[in-house]
Structures are given as C-alpha cells and as structure tokens.
Amino acid sequence: MREKIIVTLLALNISFLAYAYGGFPDWALWIFLSLSGASFLALFVPINDHTSPTMTSNITKLLKFPVFWLGLLVIAYILIQASNPAFIVIQEGKISFLRTLPHNTALPTSIDSPFNKINPYRILLYVISCLCISSSLWIGIRKRRSLQTLFWVFLANGLIFTAIGLYLRFKNISKLLGIKYTPINTMFSSFVYSNHAAAYIYLLLSVALGFCVYYLSSNLKSFNKSTPYLICGLIGVFLWLALFVIASRGGIVIASAITLCALCALIYVLVQARNNPYRKWIAISLIALLIGSAITLHYTYDWRRLDGRFDQFSTEISENSRRSLLREATYEMFEDNSVFGWGAGSFQYYFPVYRAKYPDLLYAKNSKRKYFYNHAHSDWIETLSDYGIVGSSLFALIGLYFFSLPVIFFRALNPLSFMVFIGCLGFIAHAYFDFVFQSPALLLTFCFLLTAAARAVSLRKRLLKS
C-alpha cells in the first residue's frame, strides 16, 4: 500500500514537470515541492498494512543512504551561504547594482537578491525537492515493476508533451502549451528555450530505446513472437522527428550518441541469441524501421536549416566566439573565489563586473544593443563560480555514487537502466555547452531518472544474490 502511494505521487510529479513552463514560475515551484515532499513524507506515515515496511524500517534505510547525507550537506552549505551575504542587489527604476554588506570572510558567502528571480533560498527549494525525490525512490520503491511503471508514465506523458510541441510548431502558434503567449520564437511545447525541450526529449529517447532493447532481450530469451520492442522503436523515431523540428544542435548530437549506444546494445542482444529462430526476422524488422525512417527524413526534412545551425555551431566553439569568451570570463570569476564560490544563484548579479573586461561580451555585433547574461551557457563552470570547489565537490560526490553502481554491479545492469544512465551522461556532457541544469523541471527530471536507474541496479543486484 505504501509503495503504491509513493508511486502515485512520483508519477504525478514527473508528469507535472513536463508542463510546468520549465519549472520557473513560482506556482510551479510550490507544486513540485509539495508533491516531492508528500512522496517523502509517505515513507513515514503509519499504514495498517502488514506487507508495507514500517516507519522504523524506512528511517533505518534512509540513514544508510549516502545521497541523503550528501544532500543534507548541500542544504547546509547553501544555508550558510544564504545567511552570510557579501552583497545586496539594489533596484532603482530599471537600474540595479550591488552594495557591499558586512560579512564573515571565513565562511561561504552569497548575494542578497530577489526570491522571484533567483537567490540561494529559491535554489534551496530545488535541492530539497531533488533530495525528496531521490529518497522516495531509493527507500520507497522495492519492486522492479514499480520502477517500470514510473518509466512508462514518464514516457507516455513525454509523448503527449512532444505531440503538443509539434502541433504548435506546425500551426505556427507562439504560445506555450497553446495557452501562454511568448514573443520568443525558440519555444517548444512548455519550454521557452528550445534547447531545454531538446534535452527533455533526448532523455525520453533514452527511456524509449532502453525499453526497446529490454523488451527485445526478453523476447529472445523467452522465444516469444511479439513484445512491445517495435512500438518502442517507433516512439524513438517520433522523438527524433521532434529533435529535427527543434533543430537543437546539442540535442541532436547527444541523441545521436544515445541512439548509437542503443544500436550497439541491440546488436549485442541479437548476437547472444544464436539459437532463437525469430532472430533473423527481428533483425529485418529493425533494419526496415531504420531504413524507412532515414528515407522519410531525407525526402521530407529541410536539411539546409540544419546545415546552417551546425555552421553556426562551428563558429561558436571557436576561441574568439561569444560563448567561448563567456566561459573564459566565468572561469576567471571562479578563480577569484575558488574555494567557496560567490553564492548559489549569484552569477547573473556579479557577472557584469567581469563582462566589462570583455568588450565583445558587451554589445551584439554591429549593434548598440547590450547583451545580458543570466547564465554562463556552461553549467560546469557556472556551478564552480557559484559554489566553489567545496560545494561543487558535494554535487560531484552524489553523481559519483550513482554512476559507480552500474560499474561495480555490472551484472545487475539491465538494458533499460543502461540506456537511462547513458541519457544522464549525455545530459551532463550537454551541460558543459549549455545551461540545462538551470531549468528546475529538467533538474528534477534528471534527478528522477538517475535515481531510478541506480535503484533498478540495486534491486536486480539483490535478486541475483537471492
């Protein structure tokens, strides 16, 4: 009973994230915080059910969960930053500037800034939501079927999200979810920034292709004639269509890597099933799907648009490009406060000090229009500048714990969790060139997928031992 309640709350949460406008509005923050907190509290609510673990049992397991303690350290670190501001943001009309405050230089500092924009307390709520989701999954989910249910909810909901985005693009409707008008032409479905939508879609793709390999492997082992592997493959093709419509360069590169890993896994599964009489026909159906998809794209897609995007990409990664200079300036910002960082959410307030040193970052080319930067377009470097070596190390340790599980317990890694781990690795790689972690909806989705994949390894390891 307890597990069903937790699965229901988590399913509602991950479904809501797809339509939360990236998680940026205040109302979205309070909704996903409430759902995350409710799933965490469900671990300890007394339930008259002999099959459910007791509250004491869950507390014991929670105290043995390393990520719980690392998460508490992150929360404590951000609280110390928030309680020791070195600057305050002063707003006078349309002009804002920083004023120095007395502070303890021996402790981590921050910038006292508005909650409705970004400040340490707002980020603290994001971290608490992530910790609640991870703890709920790790402690509350004890059956692999529950994890599969959550993955299917995520995928089915994502298909609706993608279909809405494609419909709005084809109808040329500049409204998020068809409701909220946005003057920005990069929107897709509920995301204002199309690269964020692309990141969400390639995470969906990793789950779809993971299910494809998983069901194919099960099919070949049990000699079944049919399983949903081909449907999952078609879902993957549909998600690829959305990526081409968005034309996100980073999204297409990461999705290509995910697809390549899935193809390698499919080949491995087919080679292992030497004695299965259906192996040849399965291989033919998959090849036909790939060839059919490639031919359809070749004759229906405007490749000149994509060529232009990648030509622009080659310019942007050059040493003198604006984004390269932006990363260079942010790294200089980190070096000046490398131990503790400038404070959670401080980048957009303190970066103008460093922007002034780089004339090419001040104005658009051949224009007097000023550039403003809310993010560094590199989450790796922005995290270092905000949290310093101390805070960034805590985030790195959390990631290291989760990613060490499939390496240490490789035999317990099934195709679905393998592909989800690949998707999460791609997301982290993407974060070097973009600010995908700055979207609360993407941050919580990443947190859910990474924890769920690690939990799948943990549960299968227990099964193999027994």
Q: Is the confidence at residue 38, as pLDDT, over 90? A: yes
Q: Report the share of the chain in percent with pLDDT over 90.
A: 62
At 443 the pLDDT is 98
| Residue recorded with tokens 């350290």 | 73
pLDDT value, residue 319: 47
459 is written with which tokens? 């549960």
Encoded tokens for 3? 């597990």
| Contact call for residues 297 and 244 (beta carbons, < 8 A) | yes
pLDDT level of residue 147 (50, 70, 90 thresholds): very high
Mean of pLDDT values over 159-177:
89
Mean pLDDT of 82-111: 92
Banded pLDDT at 364 (limits 50, 70, 90): low
Could you give the angle at which helices 347-355 and 379-408 cross, rounded to 10 degrees? Answer: 130
- Mean pLDDT computed over every residue of the chain: 88
Q: Is the pLDDT of residue 2 over 50?
A: yes
Give CA–CA dist 55/44, Å, rounded: 5
Instruction: Please spell the DSSP secondary structure of 91-128, one letter per residue.
Output: EETTEEEEEE----TTS--EEE--TTT--HHHHHHHHH
For residues 292 and 39, the model is more confident at: 39
Q: How far apart are CA 311 and CA 233, in angstroms?
A: 30
Residue 11 has pLDDT above 90, yes or no: yes
CB 188 within 8 A of CB 178: no
Q: In this predicted model, what pLDDT tens digit does every residue of 311-362 receive, in sequence order?
A: 555 555 544 578 888 999 999 999 999 999 999 999 999 998 888 888 777 7
Please, are residues 183 and 174 in contact by the beta-carbon 8 Å criterion?
yes
Distance between CA 122 and CA 179 in Å, rounded? 26
Which class for 339: exposed (0-12), middle (13-18), buried (19 or more C-beta within 10 A)? exposed
Q: What is the pLDDT of residue 351?
A: 92
The neighbour count for residue 92, using CB atoms within 10 Å, is 7
Instruction: For residue range 411-429, list pLDDT tens digits in order.
Output: 889 999 999 999 999 999 9
**Contact assessment for residue 409 and residue 457, using Cβ atoms and an 8 Å cutoff:** yes
- Residue 299: band (very low, low, confident or very high) from pLDDT cuts 50, 70, 90: low
**pLDDT score for 183:** 66
